[in-house]
Amino acid sequence: MPGPLTGMRVIEMAGIGPAPFAAMMLADLGADVVRIERPARPVLAQAGMNVLGRGRRAVVADLHEPGPRSTVLRLIERADVLMEGFRPGVMERLGLGPDDCLARNARLVYGRMTGWGQTGPLAQAAGHDINYVAISGALHAIGRSGEAPVVPLNYLGDFGGGGMLLAFGILCAVHEARNSGKGQVVDAAMTDGAALLSAMMYGMKAEGAWSNQRGENLLDGGSHFYDTYACADGRFVAIGAIEPQFYRTLRERCGIDDPLFDDQMDPRLWPLLKLRLADVFKTRTRDEWCALLEGSDACFAPVLDWDEAPHHPHNVARRTFIDVDGVVQPAPAPRFGRTPAGPPRSATGEVDAESLLRAWEAPTDAASRVETVHPA
C-alpha cells in the first residue's frame, strides 16, 4: 500500500489493543507489517471484521518450537522494526528478547508496549487501560462535580497514551537508526503516555488555573461555555465557546441578553449559568440548533453517535470514514500531500513464511527500498 512509510518492514507480535493500533497506523501509511500469530488463538480469525488488523498479513508460528522460532528470527534479520505488547520477560523466555534480536539485526528498532512499563514495582502486574489512566491523574479529572470519575472508554491509555506513543517512538528510533546504524529498544508505557497527555493540565494546575475538583474547571464541564446540552428532542450538542469573541457569537445567535452572562470567567456563576443555558438549548431540536449555529464561530457541534458520524457532511467531504469490504471505519490519518496513503486493505489472513522471506531478501535499509511486496 502506498504512503510515506513505503519500504519499511515491521514484525508485529499478535496481541490486542494498543500494539495492534500502532501497527495499524504504520500499515495505513505504507509500512509492510506482518503479524506473528499463535496457532491456537489466531487473533485475526475474523479478519474482515477486525479494523485494527487491517493492512497486514499473518504468519502463524508456534514460538515454543525451535523451527518456527528460527523462521521468525530470519524474518527479524530482514525487518526494520519488531513490536510486541507482552508483559516484561515474555519475549526473553521465547528467545526473542531484544538481545537475541539485535544480535541478528543491529539496526532493529524493538518497540515494547506495556501498561506499566518495562521497569517499576508494578511492571509485572496485570492491568487494563482504566488502571493505567488512574495512576496518571487523568481519570480522577474526568467526570461531573460530586460524582464518580467517568471511564473515557479506552482512548487515553490504550490508544492515545499507548498505541500512538508507541508508533511515535518507533518512528523516532527508525530515524535515529538511519543516522547511527544502530537499533534500540522503545519502552512505551500507557502510564507514561496518559501522564504525557495531561501535560497542559499539570501546567495549568501549577499556575493555579486548575483544581483537583473534577467538573469544576475550564475544560472538564465545569464552565457553562464548555459542555454538552440536551435539546428538545433528547439529542445533545457540544459547546466550546472559550474565547470572548466566540462566546459573544454564541450569545448573539442564541439570543442571550441576560447580563449575568457578561461575567463569563467567574467560576462562582458557572453553576447558575449552566442551568440557564440548559434551558435555552431545550427550546429547539438538535437539527434546529445545527441550522442556527453550525459553521459559525460559536464553537458548536452536534453530538453524533456511531451511525450518524460517518454521514456528517464535513466527514463525508473529507472522507474521514471509509468502507473496507463492507465495514465502515475511520480512514488513515494524518493526510500527506506528496505521498498520500492508499485505501487500507482488510487483514489478509495467513501468508507462507518462506515466501515472505524470499520477498524480503532485498537489503534491510528501509531508506533504500521503494516498494513493498503484497500478497496476490
Catalytic residues: 128, 158
C-alpha 364/C-alpha 359 separation (Å) is: 12
Contact of 133 with 156, CB cutoff 8 Å: yes
The C-alpha cell that represents 310 in the structure block: 460517518
Cα 259-265-270 angle, rounded to 5 deg: 75
C-alpha 366/C-alpha 360 separation (Å) is: 11
C-alpha 314/C-alpha 336 separation (Å) is: 19
User: Concatenated DSSP letters for 72-115?
Assistant: HHHHHHT-SEEEE-SPTTHHHHTT-SHHHHHHH-TT-EEEEEES
Closest CA to 241 of 266, 258, 224, 259: 224
Contact of 364 with 80, CB cutoff 8 Å: yes
